[in-house]
Every structure is written in C-alpha cells, then in structure tokens.
Amino acid sequence: MTEKKNTRNSPRRILEIIEAICLNPEAATASRLSQTLEIPTPTIYRWLDALSEERFIAPTASGHYVPGERFRDLILNSLQYEPKVTERRSLLRALSEQLNETVSLSIPHGTKLIYFDRLESHWPFQVNLKVGAPLPLHCCASGKLYLSTLEPDAALGVYERIADKTSARNTIVDAAAFGAELARIREFGFALDKEEWFDDMVGAAVPVFADSGALVACLSTHALTTRKSIDDLKAEIPLMREIAGKLRHCLIG
C-alpha cells in the first residue's frame, strides 16, 4: 500500500484537498477531487462539507470549489511576512523616491481589491486608507485595472451592482463608457484615474501577473493635479512596469 493511501485519514489529505482547489479551481468538483486524490466519494463529500462549513473553501453554483474567506485571510496575513519583505519594501521605497509620490500595492482578495502595502511620500495630502482596506473598483486606477482582468460581462456586472457610482466629478457613471474604458486598459496594459476617485487627484496603476496570467497585485501611484498631470503619470508607466517586474519575484518567487 502506498504512503498516499496510508495517510487517507490524516490531516495531510485535508491539506491536499485545499492545495488541489487552490491550484486548479476549474477542475475542483467533488468527483474530480475524489478521482485525482484517490479519496472515496463519501469521504471527499464529508471533508468538503467540513471545510466549507469552516469557510476554508466555498462551493460555487457550478459545483466547483474555490478558496474560502478564511483561507484567503490566512494567505493575506501571511504575505506580510514573506521572506522577501525587505526587498519588496526597498523596491517600493525606490519607486516612491523616483516618482516623488506615494506608491501602493493592492491585491485581489475574493471579490475585493485591498490595500496591501505602501510607501508614502512627504507630501501632506494622502489617501486615508489603511492596509487591508478595500479599494473602489470603478473609479481608482487599481480597481479598474483589476476589473479589466475579469471577463467583460463579469466586470460590467460588478460595475452595475455598485449602487452609488459618483465619487468625483469625472467618475464614469455610464456602463457603455465604463466598458470602453476597460477595453482600453486591456489593450494598453495599464490604468489611469483621471480625477475619477477624488477631485484634483490623478493616478496610475500597472499589473503584477503570475506565470499563469492571473493578477497577483496592482502597483499604483497618485498625485494632486497641482503637482502632476495625466501625461506626467503616463510618462512614468515604463518605470512602474520595471519595478512591477521586480516585485513579481518578491511576491511569487
């Protein structure tokens, strides 16, 4: 009997279920998990129910399982202590100094995009968000960048479910215009905030992608229009992309 079969009733098998769901949620149905992990069907259903009840995984309407709220919280908290945290912070500091502005990292967390890390500039005006706070998906550069990585219909569905869209004088409140904005972001690979989140503030964001093409994080900056214009921020996109490439190795190895 193999070691794998010897450990069917051990915590190792629970971890293998969670690992399989995280690595390939599109194939994470009860039957596929049972077959792939060689776990009897009654057992896999029992463990999936237990993991769902404890919110480590979550069932979807299609019958697949995805990482749950509790598991995502664990991952989010663990990122603050990843081995390359010093390198990550030094890269953010270098970018902040070169741009002379605050720079931020935000990461997908379930259906939200949240602040993960930032280096603040010396300017007195700052966006008053704490690490872990959700970002508005429809008006800030990082939020629009995140939505652009979703299927177009899904992204517009999220947008249309936002009850109060108006945040600043230039916030996009028309669905067709917002869809066109997401198409531009997909084409050019970066997002801009043209005074859509706050009046008299502009911003830019570039993506950090995994090898699979999944969005790992958004690297962003913002500035008052008295200091920088949208054209100024667009000119800084190549530098932001360079730093994003280096941050990728800090975040995913």
**Average confidence (pLDDT) over 164-179:** 95
CATH number for the domain formed by residue range(s) 3-72 = 1.10.10.10
pLDDT in tens, 219-243: 999 999 999 999 999 999 999 999 9
pLDDT score for 33: 92
Residue 172 pLDDT exceeds 50: yes
| pLDDT of res. 217 | 94
**What confidence score (pLDDT) does residue 131 get?**
66
Q: Give the pLDDT mean for 173-178.
A: 96
* Alpha carbon distance 72, 110 (integer Å): 7
Q: Domain ranges in the chain?
A: 3-72, 80-252
Banded pLDDT at 122 (limits 50, 70, 90)? confident
**What are φ and ψ of residue 161, in 5° steps?**
-85, -5
**Quick check: helix, strand or coil at residue 26?**
helix
The CATH homologous superfamily of the domain defined by 80-252: GAF domain (3.30.450.40)
The region of weakest confidence among 34-43, 105-114, 190-199 is 105-114
Strands 215-224 and 57-59: unpaired
The tokens of 200 are what? 């008299």
pLDDT at 229: 96
Cβ 48 vs Cβ 84: under 8 Å: no
Taking the C-alpha atoms of residue 144 and residue 182, their distance in angstroms, rounded to an integer, is 7
Residues 77-101: pLDDT tens digits?
666 666 677 888 899 999 999 999 9
111 to 45, 137, 139, 149: CA distances (angstroms): 26, 10, 16, 13
For range 18-22, the mean pLDDT: 87
Mean pLDDT comparison of 46-50, 52-56, 141-145, highest-scoring range: 141-145
The pLDDT of residue 129 is 67
